[in-house]
Amino acid sequence: MTTSALDLIQTGTVSQIALIPGISSSKAVPPYELFKPMPAAAAEEVLTVTLPDAYPGAVVSLNEDLISVVEVHQQLGGAWAIYRVPVYVALYATSDGTVAGEARRLVWSLGESVQRTLMAFSPSVPGITVWPLVPERIEQILVDANTHGLLMEFWAKYQLQGTPLN
């Protein structure tokens, strides 16, 4: 699969998330920018996050290093393979600090909307079959006392046609 097709899956996901009511921004970043180590100031490793341009917002990353083959078929002179690739969505919300759990409640509510939306969304990639994204796991992200987030991992499953395997 060409990088441009993976880019279409990622940008389609970013665009779909941006359409969800209540989400102010959505952008794509390379996987190494989703979480990156802070300069070695402490004895333990501390990671920083790439934050959205506006809140509540999402940061999307597709990790092409983790593409895996799900199935391979050969029949009547043709062959096809089904692959899957992880798509990470980091969703963030903030509060003004007056209501301690407000950002947490907002990010969980928007997270449910993101899941419902992406489970019904099939990225459009010309010449390639792509199924709706499948949620894999969700983890909380605490940025600071007023900024909460969710890291959601989805799998994008797609099919490539090819020539017979020999």
The answer, yes or no, to whether residue 163 has pLDDT greater than 60, is: no
What per-residue confidence (pLDDT) applies to 91? 95
How far, in Å, CA of 85 to CA of 83, rounded? 7
Q: What angle is formed at CA 105 by the lines to CA 31 and CA 122, rounded to 5 degrees?
A: 45
pLDDT in tens, 11-22: 999 999 999 999
- Most confidently predicted of 55-59, 122-126, 143-147: 55-59
Mean pLDDT score of the chain, rounded to an integer? 85
Nearest to 87 by CA among 39, 121, 24, 136: 136
DSSP H/E element including 29: none
Query: pTM for this one?
Result: 0.84
The answer, yes or no, to whether residue 117 has pLDDT greater than 70, is: yes
How far, in Å, CA of 25 to CA of 23, rounded? 6
How far, in Å, CA of 164 to CA of 166, rounded? 6
pLDDT in tens, 47-66: 678 889 999 999 999 998 89
Which domains are assigned to the chain? 3-162 (3.30.2000.10)
How far, in Å, CA of 101 to CA of 115, rounded? 21
The answer, yes or no, to whether residue 45 has pLDDT greater than 80, is: no
The first and second tokens of residue 67, run together, are: 């593409």
Lowest-confidence segment of 4-8, 43-47, 148-152 by average pLDDT: 43-47
Of the two residues 165 and 113, the one the predictor is more confident about is 113
How far from chain centre, in Å, is Cα 12? 11
How far, in Å, CA of 137 to CA of 46, rounded? 22
